[in-house]
Structure 1
Amino acid sequence: MSATPRTALPPLSGTPLVVGTIALSLAVFMNVLDSSIANVSIPAISGDLGVSPQQGTWVITSFAVANAISVPLTGWLTQRFGQVRLFITSILLFVLASCLCGLAPSIELLIAARILQGAVAGPMIPLSQALLLSSYPPAKSGMALAFWGMTTLVAPVAGPLLGGWISDNYTWPWIFYINIPIGIFAAWATWSIYRERESKTYKLPIDKVGLVLLVLWVGCLQLMLDKGKELDWFHSGEIIILASVAAVAFIYFIIWEVGEEHPVVDLSLFKGRNFSGGVIAISVAYGLFFGSLVILPLWLQTQLGYTATEAGKVMAPVGIFAIILSPVVGKLLPKIDARWVATTAFLIFSLVFFMRAQFTQDVDVLTLMIPTVIQGAAMAMFFIPLTSIILSGQSPDKIPAAAGLSNFVRIMFGGIGTSVTSTMWDNRTILHHAQLAEHTGPHNPAFTLSVEALKSRGLTEQGAWAVIDRSMTVQASTLAATDIFWISAILFLILISFIWMTKPSKSSAPADAAGAH
């Protein structure tokens, strides 16, 4: 999202082009990888640091929120410091934050390091795109961005697989340490090739009040969502205070930004039907998708006895169709209405969640993997069409702000989706367990028979009750997960209406379409 327009720099060629493309893609890979690698490692991290898996999800949400806050600042920072210097500084600070994550001795320090990591990661993805576009001739920009886009799809797939393998075979800090060699190489290669291609810098005022209000309301909202289930939501004074501060700061933020000459976030973009409809669709859908990425491996590991590696393998096939179909969608999009492509994606997402809603505690690996494979097709048709809708009709000078704001809302909804989904899973598990427990006791012949059968195998009465209680917990958590999958499937169908609120558009620029990963 560089605010600096592409200058008439000559395209790169030969070895510099290859090395530059690899370096930029590796930086993107490292960044996107870190938003998903911790997902299957949460049980290992929370166990090692002595906190619950629910508290462990802060490791994911803290990164997402800090990242969301820093993305809108990319345009101002680029104009102030230059895109090459800013990009390399972001990579090196990201490497430093990764070291701090691996060395963290407590959950509090790990979350603090993840906040730093998310904050410095903000400019990396949009700037990698800007630098990549300046490296290729305009006629080949689509091919460049298809390669770049595939990197952003491979990383979420590799994240759970790599995170699970590292957690099982080494120790969880290594999920962060692997960033060190990747980051150092990417920074060195980028500096070697792009240092003579720096963008012009300008001293522009920053909207300090808007930035403070942004950090305040996003931070309080996320803390409220994360701590709500621990503190019994609005029965807690702390939650009431957080909710009140978030609401007041949000209202003041909107009022301030609308009247500010140099706003940190250009809210006037929401006046456009395509922008507002597209942003709602992509953000809520991303929240639903990201929430499922968190609870599925947690359910497999904490309830069904899967190792982190096995859980990662179940999640990995999502990349097969995503990688194969992305270039095809990129080629077809200029010729067809993007709304039909996005609608197809949402129908496939809905089908995937309906399939997952049929899962039981006896589900086999093949049944788990089939919807994951199908989901890859939806991912390929999800980001690019919706982003082309969001950016269609925007003047060239508004496109960086539009891409940044849509990214901000989408990333924030990813964090919110994680918090809401994990809270819902917790609450529904408790509810289903209570309902199942109503059928236990001496008055239930089936329960009495089960207890006697377990006692005949040598268990005490207390032991038999413990076995049955464990079985009920697994069943309750499974029912809770399938409840969430049902709700997600229905919400994806409802979200199609927001796609069709937008005006018909064809993708006029592949560069724009790929910009919101």
Structure 2
Amino acid sequence: MNAFKRQILIVTVISAAIMELIDISIVNVALSHMSGNLGSTLEDTSWVITAYAIANVIIIPMTSFLTTNLGRRKYYIGSVILFVLCSLMCGNSTNIWELVIFRFFQGLGGGALLSVSAAVVYELFPKEKQATASALFGLGVFIGPTIGPTLGGYITEFSSWPWIFYINVPIGILVTISCISLLTEPAITHAKSKVDWLGITLLAIGVGAMQIVLERGQTEDWFETRYIVVLTAVAALTLTMFVFWELRIKYPVVDLRVLKSKELLIAAILTFVTGVGMFTSIYLTPVLSQRLFLLSPSQTGVLLLPGSLVALFVLIISGKILQRGVSPAVIVFVGFLCFIYFNWLMSRISLETSSAYISIALIFRAAGMALLTVPLTTLAVSSLQPKDMPQGAALNNMMRQLGGSFGISILNTYMSRRMAVHRTDLVSDITDQNPVAVERISGLMKSFAQRGLGQQESYVKALKVIDNTIQKHSLLLSYIDGYLLIGLFFVLAIPLLMLVAQRQKGPVVIVSADH
């Protein structure tokens, strides 16, 4: 393959990976529009997010198995076509459950676009330029979830919600044509194995049930709802059976034996924490900016832009440092410190905080994520045999997605309860014994009286203004608590790095699901 065709293929597969990652979060800001248009409740509409997450988490650990048994070229092109067709059908959906079904199958198609795209990119770069490959693909991994909500906001604001799905169609068609013309099978292929149908079934049921519990628990008041209790039991039972079965058979769909590697096990835990941070921070910050600071989607996008630019340079630097033999654990440690500092900065915000302050804080988030993306994968496979590397990389990718689902679920529950606590605390100060409160209410009543309102009506409106202020401050304090909780996850995970910090140093080894 000549240099021009190689560059076209690199752009193609990175575009496909970014497209898949954008779709994880692009619908977040469009849920209310979908709800009104399709005549569904907001709770039902949130299944659009849940369905995609469930499909992604089910398919990602199976990527190595599927590429081996179907062939990388067929599996990848088929996945792109499935993703595009389901994107089109999502936009054409006439009711919420039709949309949820197509969104699930879109997620199944999208599962290959990340892991297999990574394998193709690294294969197309010579060994001495693997740092550049890491930077390019890592930038896509970082940019996708970051710009998703902003892009969704733009499309919803200036067009209509179906276009958040239609935008995938022309990109997907170009990706398909390019891959049909240029994508080939890898130089090294693995022998096909028997299909582990029981393992696939147990994995789908167990992970699916667990994802539903995580995504819907807070909305349904957790174990106060019967189906959440049932699905929790189903998840626990089927995943236990899945682990037992996969450890017994010769050709498992997910080879859990690779977790005997201390490096992989620790990397998987750290990747889980990274997923918590990556997805919760990009879930919290745009919503915070628009709800409390009243920024538009375009202004929110400007907040995120400096961090994205910094991430590119940090990714290149981290890749080169790895190539020189620096332990991935050292780079991960610095990445964790950057992310802890980001959360500390965000815990210091007030209603008077400037956009520039938030943008600077987001630069530390971007640097942290950039320092974690490649080194964690390198650490995960550093002690594995070549035949086990694809499975190790796939498990590591799955942990990132699970971390995101777990983090958002825990964060929603925690912030909801903290907001109630803060509101109770603030309301308790509004009494006739508090001179500040009395003075504030009197001032508001005088202001309304000057507009011609009676005393009783002025009093009611003054209390309403006070209540809105309390609501806003309660929300702000709950966001601060949320950022502190995320930072705590990273602090508690740091000691794990000490267990792998002394591992043998060597050049970076980058693998993906079929590599």
TM-score of the aligned structures, taking structure 1 as reference length: 0.90
Provide closer, same or farther for how the CA distance between residues 362 and 45 of structure 1 changes in structure 2, counting only shifts above 3 A. farther
Matched to 2:280, the amino acid is: G
In terms of mean alpha carbon deviation, does 136-145 or 212-221 score higher? 136-145
Pairing partner for 1:410 from 400, 403, 407: 400
Deviation for aligned residue 1:164:
2.5
Query: Within 5 Å, which residues of 2 pair with 1:181-260?
Result: 181-194=170-183, 203-260=192-249
Q: Structure 2 CA distance, aligned partners of 1:233 and 1:83? A: 41
How far off its partner does 1:347 sit?
0.7
Q: Which residue of structure 2 aligns with residue 330 of structure 1? A: 319
Cα distance change, pair 497–317 in 1 and its aligned pair in 2 (3 A): same
Q: 1:181 to 1:143 in 2, by over 3 A?
A: same
- Determine the C-alpha separation between the residues in 2 that align with 1:250 and 1:397: 25
Percentage of matched positions with identical amino acids: 28
| Residue type at the aligned position of 1:288 | G
Q: CA deviation at 1:249?
A: 1.7
Match of 2:429 among 434, 439, 449: 439
> SS at the partner of 2:386?
coil
Cα offsets for 1:316-335 (capped at 9, x unmatched): 33212111111111111133
Deviates more, 1:493-502 or 1:433-442: 433-442
1:393 alignment partner, SS class: coil
State whether residues 27 and 164 of structure 2, in contact with CA within 8 Å, keep that contact through their aligned partners in structure 1. Answer: yes
- Secondary structure of residue in 2 paired with 1:317: helix
Alignment partners' CA distance in 2, 1:147 and 1:369:
23
Report the residue type matching 1:192 in the other structure.
Answer: S
- Specify the SS of the correspondent of 1:398: helix
Q: Name the structure 2 match of 1:356.
A: 346
Inter-partner Cα distance in structure 1 for 2:334 and 2:393: 23
Cα distance change on mapping 1:106 and 1:428 into 2, 3 Å: farther
Cα 1:487–1:148 shift into 2, 3 Å:
closer
For 2:263, the equivalent position in structure 1 comes to: 274
Residue in structure 2 matched with residue 152 of structure 1 by the alignment = 141
The CA RMSD over aligned residues, in Å, is 2.6
2:299 is matched by which residue type in structure 1? Answer: E
Which residue is equivalent to 1:464?
462
String of CA shifts for 1:164-214, please: whole Å, max 9, x gaps. Answer: 222222222222211111110011011112268798686532222222221
The number of aligned residues is 504
Q: For the residues of structure 1 that align with 2:113 and 2:19, how far apart are their CA atoms?
A: 10
Unaligned regions of 5+ residues in structure 1, if any? 1-11
Task: Report the Cα distance in structure 2 between the residues aligned to 1:59 and 1:306, rounded to whole angstroms.
Answer: 25
Is 1:94 the counterpart of 2:83? The answer is: yes
Per the alignment, residue 482 of structure 1 pairs with: 480
Distance of aligned partners of 1:47 and 1:480 in 2 relative to their CA distance in 1, 3 Å threshold = farther
- Structure 2 residues without counterparts, runs of 5 or longer: none
The code of the aligned residue for 2:76 comes to F
Cα 1:26–1:347, aligned 2, differ >3 Å: closer, same or farther?
Answer: same
Alpha-carbon distance between aligned partners in 1 of 2:484 and 2:190, rounded to the nearest angstrom: 50
Among 390, 396, 399, the alignment partner of 1:400 is 390
Which residue number in structure 2 is paired with residue 5 of structure 1?
none
Contact 1:70 1:122 in 2 (8 A): yes
Would you say 1:346 and 2:336 are equivalent positions?
A: yes
C-alpha separation between the residues in 1 aligned to 2:466 and 2:234? 45
Counterpart amino acid of 1:206? V
Please, which moves more after superposition, 436-445 or 161-170?
Answer: 436-445
Deviations 1:324-358 (A, max 9, x none): 11111111113312211110110110011011011
Cα displacement (A) at 1:86? 1.2
Residues 474 and 215 of structure 1, relative CA distance in 2, 3 Å threshold? same
- How far 1:450 sits from its partner (Å)? 2.5
Greater mean alpha carbon deviation, residues 352-361 or residues 34-43: 34-43
Alignment correspondent of 1:67:
56
Are the equivalent residues in 1 in contact too, given 2:210–2:235 (CA < 8 A)? yes
Give CA deviations for 1:351-372 in whole Å, capped at 9, x if unaligned.
Answer: 1101101112332211211110
Q: 53-62 or 487-496: which moved more? A: 53-62
Question: AA paired with 1:400?
Answer: P
Aligned AA (1:143) = T
C-alpha offsets along residues 112-131 of structure 1, whole Å, 9 cap, x if unaligned?
Answer: 33222111111122222333
Whether 1:381 aligns to 2:371 is yes
Tell me if the contact between 1:318 and 1:373 (Cα under 8 Å) persists in the aligned partners: yes
Partner Cα separation in structure 1 for residue 301 and residue 37 of structure 2: 19
Deviation at 1:13, TM superposition (A): 1.4
Q: Which residue of 2 aligns with 1:295?
A: 284
1:314 aligned onto 2:303: yes
